[in-house]
Chain A
Amino acid sequence: MFNYYLRLALLSIRRNPILSGLMVAAIALGIGASMTTITVNYLMSSNPIPQKSEQLYYVQVDSWDPNNPAEEPNEPPDQLTWTDANNLYAAQKAERQVIMATTAAVVEPPSQDAKPFNAYIRLTTNEFFPMFDVPFLYGGHWQASADKGREQVVVLSRKSNDKIFGGENSVGRSLRLAGRQFTVVGVLESWYPAPKFYDVGTGAFDEPEDLYIPFLLKEELQLPNGGNTNCWKTPEEDSFAGFLRSECIHYQMWVELPNEQDKQAYLAFLNNYANEQKALGRFSRPLNNRLSDVMQWMENRQVVTDDARVMLWLSLMFLVVCLLNTVGLLLAKFSGKSAEIGLRRAIGASRQALFYQHLVETACIGLTGGIAGLALAYLGLLGIGSLYGSFADNLTSLDINMVLLALLLSLISSIAAGLYPTWRACSIAPASQLKSQ
């Protein structure tokens, strides 16, 4: 019977192509708009490292102004001072730990043809790569000794390896960075975590940095600050070293803690550290240290922006408007079919059979609208991509879940829109339509 209904549905859709086209268009617009915003919200709130997001914790210690919280109502600062980052790292109390910051410097490629360029650099420690499951194309990360020894080694993103070395295996080759000679130890595979969870400070959907170098080179090469720097009191000395010693926050720390016990132990360690610092005259605020796992941290940083949420609701409302339109169009369409419905009733179709027949028809229209809506959503995402720049690569892909969701949404919404018209059509008394004509 389903095949029969399907055939009747296609016939009926062909019978009034304009009306059918309008319905498909209404559903497509609604689905297109809502799928665009749903996808953006979905990707914004997706887990960038599901396999271990509950074992990675962002570290916050409250080193802030005794008189004001870093953020209302009583949030600890979102980054660490140089002093705290180095102390906590040196303690090595977690399974793995990483401290990091962003900077920028000029890269001079070895080849004469390639021009020097300003590169975005992540200063980090060697466990960054295994901790965040960063995939390597060539080579690997540097060793802990390179961190300690402030060795001039570099890991390149795939993109910058393409740019500097034409995509060759460049491990062992050298390049000039910030006026010094660096040796390449590894090249990453394409890696675009979205959100860029390990540092959302400069834009949760920015591309990862071009180059990665050992953290302590910050001091060694007196590299400038990238990203955000906040100070609750002005540095006492004017020099670079003075700035490092100040209470300004600019550094991030993540720790890997495999289980709850480890987490509690680490928190105790942080509190202990804060108390030690109190004894030294720092950390005047009440104890307020925090460990947030990846998704908690994304929530805390409001990675899904309010804009995106508002757009989501607006687009869902738009979908409702489109569906109300579809209800009207379906009423018109089915009332044009009342003669046929009356006839089918008279020669033996039950109300149920007719209801089913028209539901199949509505679902066909809905699915067609859904597919057209997906195409619109794709265009919408391209549009958003071009507005947000590099956001495009990470956020504007429609994965299979989204495609299925779109089809399901269009099916459900068209059936919802079709219920009332279908019910009306089927409650036509069989006799009333047969006299006329």
Chain B
Amino acid sequence: MLNMQNVTKIFRTDLVETRALSDFNLHVKEGEFVTVTGPSGSGKTTFLNIAGLLESFDDGVYDLDGQNVRHLNDTQRSRLRNEKIGFIFQSFNLIPDLDLFDNVDVPLRYRGFNSSERKRRIERCLELVGLANRMKHLPAQLSGGQQQRVAIARALAGEPRFLLADEPTGNLDSKMAHSVMQLLKDINDEGTTIVMVTHDPSLAREAKRNIFVKDGKVSDVTHITASTPEQVASISASGACHV
């Protein structure tokens, strides 16, 4: 599904060159749930941004779903992001003056679905995260945990094959964090591949695999529960909103 070989990312400013990733190697299979941990500044966000086609890289090979993404243009990258990838950010990133319905609607608009299809998906996904009855509320009227649930609903609405989350629980208390984690696990059980960056070791342990990033490299991989490739393959690849 996701295959990075010797990916290198260098940030250049006038004064310094920062090697955020150097020879980063990772293979994530369809249906996996991978957590990413590591010290601050080690390159976790950089890896996730590159994985999500938000950022370019300087060297190496990155195949997403069998497609080499190195030379895609902006429109093609936007399209891939829109169709295959869902994002969840630490700071929810909801649009403050759109209500929940319209926030979840955003990726669907760029997808070009008709209005009844959009409505169906939005309602399902908000139901999945338990917020179907708050559709007309504005983000500011929700708690942090609820806002993150909306962000998850938004990430899922396009039925992505691949969900990227950068410290999705970083702004939540541990009870909320665990409920969001449970939601992600349910989604993963439905077949969506998930890569999640976290600082919380207890959350990291809940995933099937944890990778540890240090100095822009994968320095350790822990398999928490052994899951054979056959098991992985048997999980339906359909989107998580088909509940």
User: Which A residues form the contact surface with B (CB < 8 A)?
Assistant: 1, 4, 11, 14-15, 339-340, 343-353, 429-431, 434-437
Contact = CB atoms under 8 A, between A and B. Distances in A.
A430 B82 contact: no
B87 interface: yes
Interface residues of B, number: 30
B146 to A, nearest CB: 17
Interface string B137-162: 00000000000000000110010000
A1 B75 contact: no
A349 B110 CA distance: 6
A11 B105 CA distance: 15
Interface in B161-175: 166
Given A11-B98, A348-B111, A434 B93 contact: yes
Given A11-B97, A430-B54, A347 B87 contact: yes
B107 A429 contact: no
5 contacts: A343-B106, A345-B78, A346-B81, A347-B86, A347-B107
Contacts of B158: 348
B74 A350 contact: yes
B110 A434 contact: no
Top 5 A-B residue pairs of the complex, sorted by shortest distance between their CB atoms:
A348-B82, A350-B78, A431-B54, A437-B91, A431-B49
Interface of B: 45, 49, 52, 54-55, 74-75, 78-79, 81-83, 86-87, 89, 91, 93, 95, 97-98, 106-107, 109-112, 154-155, 158, 166
Contacts of A339: 93
Nearest to B105: A4
A15 B78 CA distance: 27
Contacts of A434: 54, 89, 91, 93, 166
A429 B75 CA distance: 14
Contact of A347 (B55, B98, B106): B106
A429 B54 CA distance: 8
Contacts of B155: 347
A15 B107 contact: no
Contacts of A1: 109, 112
Contacts of A352: 75
Contacts of A344: 106, 110
Nearest to B171: A437
B111 A437 contact: no
Nearest to A436: B91
Most buried by B among A1, A344, A353, A430: A430
